[in-house]
Structure 1
Amino acid sequence: MPKRRILLHPGFHKTGTSSIQHFFWTNREELAAHVHLFMLRHLKPVTQLTHSYSRSGNPLTLIDLADRLDEVFADTPHDTRDILISCEALCGHLPGWPKVKTYQAAPIILTYVVGYLRDRFDAEAEIVVTTRDAEPWLYSAYRHHLKGQRLTLAPDAFATKYAKAADFGPIISAIATQCGPTQTLPLEMSARHPLGPGGALLDLFGIPTDRFTPVGKGNEGPSDTLWREFLTLNRSDLTDAALIDAKERLAKQSNLGGWRKGDVPNPTQLP
């Protein structure tokens, strides 16, 4: 009888993760023959703690992590299908969020999570982190934060302030040291896969994808025109509530985050 595996994709943010997870959800019936799938929608009780820890660095924040993980996996059937987890929030917040400068919280969070999964399922974890070249990653993170918070920095200033966050190497090394062998999958490579980043990730995990449906292109992040409008609004004297409403209207008008069928994502156009 084959031994169950833990297939863990914990991020990083802005590396094709939305494309991967949309691909998984679209093909969830096909995936169900091979794995039990868990993503943010399933892990929200856990990610409340991981987000908090990435802001505070206080280990007491993670004291209830095992209980939250128990809630998430309580109804997982006892069969031999693998456990597939894709959730970048397991690395904490995207750097650039208030009080979050880098991914330094990620190795500690993942040590807790991987240890729990090994004990619960008596299985080893196979970890793949997705990456991206520094310059486009910083630009994507910047545009994301313009929508999500009252960021007023210019793009060059943001890139300078958070340059260290785009150096994934030390964080990946720490994850591998504390959690076990860790593979990397650059977006510049995964986007060239016929099924996009999701297909490339499943290939690394050895899951057949011949019957899977591509998801096309989406969640590209604000255009140059739109992010400049967000920046102008962030620098205005609008109240916080009025600012949120104004940005939401612009995002809806621009179909920000929408998906369309057709082509495979291009790494220069992903969020």
Structure 2
Amino acid sequence: MTRVLLHLGLHKTGTTSLQKFLEDNRAAIEPAAAILLPAQTREISRWAWRFHQLGDRDVLQVIREDFQQLLAALPLGDRDLIISDENLLGPMPRAQGADPYPHAATLIDTYRETLQILPKPPRLTVWLTTRDPQDWAISIHAHLARKIRAVRLTEDRDNFSARLAGNGFERTLTAIPAALPDLDLQVNGMEALADQPFGLAQVFVDFLNLPDNRMLRPATHHHRSPAPELIDRLIALNRSDLDEDALAAAKQAMLRGVPAKEYQR
């Protein structure tokens, strides 16, 4: 039996730090478990986004085919498998509906079905990380505000975060087990994991059960959010009449000139 840990976010819950932990510790981890990160799963996540946008179930078949090709080319052997990519759950929420991940259960079921092609029967655990809803909403607003292209967020932080936090992610966390009652679903808050020996990465470490954890480098924090004053300036740029190229250049210039003290810890 192949154990599979599928880490799907949520967005802005330390996912980049967790993926960096896996990358930094590949040499120690890969004898026990193969690792798939966003660089390998990007095409699948793009189709997951397309399914979110269109709701076209034909897209699910494309996801299955792409995922099957990825798994077939993976030299798994007797190892377990860790997959971490928050975009496999769908795009980052934009506070546009009551459920931030309305297709989560359908996508997870598609991945679970596709994993059945592994040579040994998979034992799947889906892992979700969460955080305080208000902090989560503010962090998503900051991320979207500083996007260089594709997103031109003009809404102020208070209105956006109040709506997103008000809806929260509880609907998603309720909908997944309701639709997939036999799914092994693990949910951990960032705040609870922070005190563990390996911080956010403790779930990975526990899953691996390596004979000597001293080889592992601890997780470090990445993608700190800009301070509120900087976000206000970015939103002002988004509200301007600059065209896409001029806006991108202005935002890049602004972010290049920002001292470290203007980023929140």
| TM-score, length-scaled by structure 2 | 0.87
Q: 1:59 to 1:93 in 2, by over 3 A?
A: same
Cross-structure match for 1:212: 216
User: Within 2, Cα distance between the matches of 1:97 and 1:241?
Assistant: 26
Q: Does 1:189 align with 2:187?
A: no
Conservation of the 8 A alpha-carbon contact between 1:38 and 1:85: yes
Conservation of the 8 A alpha-carbon contact between 2:177 and 2:185: yes
Conservation of the 8 A alpha-carbon contact between 2:52 and 2:90: yes
Cross-structure match for 1:136: 135
Cross-structure match for 1:166: 168
Out of 112, 115, 118, the position equivalent to 1:114 is: 112
Conservation of the 8 A alpha-carbon contact between 2:177 and 2:183: yes
Q: 1:255 to 1:197 in 2, by over 3 A?
A: farther
Offset of residue 28 of structure 1? 1.1
Letter in 2 for 1:8: L
Offset of residue 214 of structure 1? 2.1
Letter in 2 for 1:246: A
Unaligned runs of 5+ in 1: 257-267
1:212-233, Cα deviation, whole Å (9 max, x unpaired) = 1124332112222321221111
Letter in 2 for 1:223: A
Offset of residue 71 of structure 1? 2.6
Letter in 2 for 1:170: R
How many residues align? The count is 254
Superposed, 1:40-119 pairs within 5 Å as 40-96=38-94, 102-119=100-117
SS of 1:114's equivalent in the other structure is: helix
What percent of counterpart residues are identical?
Answer: 25
Quote the RMSD (CA, aligned, Å). 2.3
| TM-score, length-scaled by structure 1 | 0.85
User: Within 2, Cα distance between the matches of 1:62 and 1:252?
Assistant: 40
Q: 1:91 to 1:207 in 2, by over 3 A?
A: same
Unaligned runs of 5+ in 2: none
User: Within 2, Cα distance between the matches of 1:104 and 1:204?
Assistant: 30
Cross-structure match for 2:183: 180
Q: 1:244 to 1:162 in 2, by over 3 A?
A: same
User: Within 2, Cα distance between the matches of 1:57 and 1:164?
Assistant: 25
Conservation of the 8 A alpha-carbon contact between 2:95 and 2:164: no
Q: 1:95 to 1:38 in 2, by over 3 A?
A: same
The answer to which of 188-197 and 19-28 deviates more is 188-197
Out of 222, 226, 231, the position equivalent to 1:222 is: 226
